[in-house]
Chains A and B, each alone.
Chain A
Amino acid sequence: MASTATRESQTPITLGHFKVSLALSAALLSLSFVPRVQENATLQLSFWGAIFSLLVWQGWLLLEAHKRGESFGFTVLLRPQHYVQAMVQCSVYVYWGFFWRPVYDHAWLILAQILFAYAFDMLLSWSRRRNYTLGFGPVPIIFSINLFLWFRDDWFYLQFLMLALGFLGKEYVRWNREGRNVHIFNPSAFALGLFSVILISTGTTGLTWGQEIASTLTLAPNIYTYLFLVGLIVMYFFSITLVAGMAAITLLGFSALYSATTGVPYFLDSEIPAAVFLGLHLLITDPSTSPRTPMGKLLFGILYGLGVFGLYTLLGMLGAPTFYDKLLCVPLLNLSVIAIDNTVRSINSDSLTNVWKQSWFGGRGNLAHMGIWIVVFIAMSALGKMDGRHTGDSVPFWEQACAEGRSNSCARVEQLYATYCNDNAGWACNELGAFYREGQYTDANEQMALTYFSQACELKFQAGCVNLLDDTSVTRSEPKELDLRLMLREGGLNLMQLPSGELYARACEHNWAFACDRSGSFL
Chain B
Amino acid sequence: MSKKQSRAATDVKTNSSDTISTAPAKPAVPGRTVGFVIMSVLTVFVAVFMQVQSRNLGNTDTSAAYTEELEGFRSDLWYLPDDELLGFVAIPAGSFTMGSNPALDRMAYENERWSRTQRQGQPLLPLYYIAKFETTRAQFAAFVADSGIAQQAIANSESLPGDLPVTQVNWPDALAYTRWLDEQLRASSDTPAELKAFLESGARVTLPNEAEWEKAARGEDGRVFPWGSLPNTNMANIASDRPLPVGSIECDECAYGLSDMSGNVWELTRSVLKDYPFSDEIDRDNLNAEQLYVMRGGSYSDQANNARAAVRGAVDPGVRNDTIGFRVVITQ
Contact = CB atoms under 8 A, between A and B. Distances in A.
Interface of A: 1, 3-4, 7, 68-73, 75, 127-131, 155, 158, 161, 164-165, 168-169, 171-174, 194-195, 198-199, 201-204, 206-207, 450, 453-455, 457-460, 462-463, 465-466, 468-470, 475, 477-478, 480
24 contacts: A69-B10, A71-B8, A128-B29, A130-B29, A131-B1, A131-B5, A155-B53, A165-B42, A173-B36, A174-B32, A198-B47, A201-B47, A450-B176, A450-B179, A457-B172, A458-B318, A465-B171, A465-B291, A465-B293, A466-B284, A469-B270, A470-B282, A475-B287, A477-B288
A161 B29 contact: no
A73 B170 contact: no
Given A4-B12, A475-B284, A207 B36 contact: no
B18 interface: yes
Contacts of B283: 466
Contacts of B287: 462-463, 466, 475, 477
B39 A172 contact: yes
Nearest to B28: A129
A130 B1 contact: yes
B291 A462 contact: yes
A168 B27 contact: no
A466 B5 contact: no
B51 interface: yes
B156 interface: no
Contacts, number: 140
B36 A172 contact: yes
Given A129-B29, A475-B287, 20 more contacts: A3-B20, A4-B20, A71-B5, A129-B30, A131-B1, A131-B5, A164-B42, A168-B38, A198-B43, A202-B50, A203-B57, A204-B57, A453-B172, A455-B172, A458-B317, A460-B290, A463-B287, A468-B172, A469-B270, A469-B282
B294 to A, nearest CB: 13
B14 A462 contact: no
A1 B12 CA distance: 9
Contacts of A4: 12, 14, 20
B4 interface: yes
Interface string B275-313: 000000011101111110100000000000000000000
B46 interface: yes
A210 to B, nearest CB: 13
Contacts of A450: 176, 179
Binding site secondary structure of chain B: mixed
Interface residues of B, number: 51
Interface of B: 1-2, 4-5, 8-10, 12, 14, 18, 20, 27-30, 32, 35-36, 38-39, 42-43, 46-47, 50-51, 53-54, 57-58, 170-173, 175-176, 179, 270, 282-284, 286-291, 293, 316-318
Given A460-B316, A460-B317, A70 B282 contact: no
Given A4-B12, A462-B290, A169 B20 contact: no
Contacts of A171: 32, 35
Nearest to B18: A3
Contact of A462 (B38, B57, B173, B286): B286
**Pairs A-B, 6 closest by C-beta atoms:** A454-B172, A458-B318, A477-B287, A168-B39, A202-B54, A202-B50
B5 A128 contact: no
Contact of A480 (B171, B175, B288): B288
Binding site secondary structure of chain A: helix
Contact of B282 (A69, A131, A155, A466): A466
A128 B38 CA distance: 14
Nearest to A197: B47
Nearest to A7: B20
A198 B46 contact: yes
A431 B27 CA distance: 69
A466 B172 CA distance: 11
A458 B30 contact: no
A480 B287 CA distance: 10
B27 A129 contact: yes
B207 to A, nearest CB: 9
B114 to A, nearest CB: 24
Contact of A204 (B28, B53, B282, B317): B53
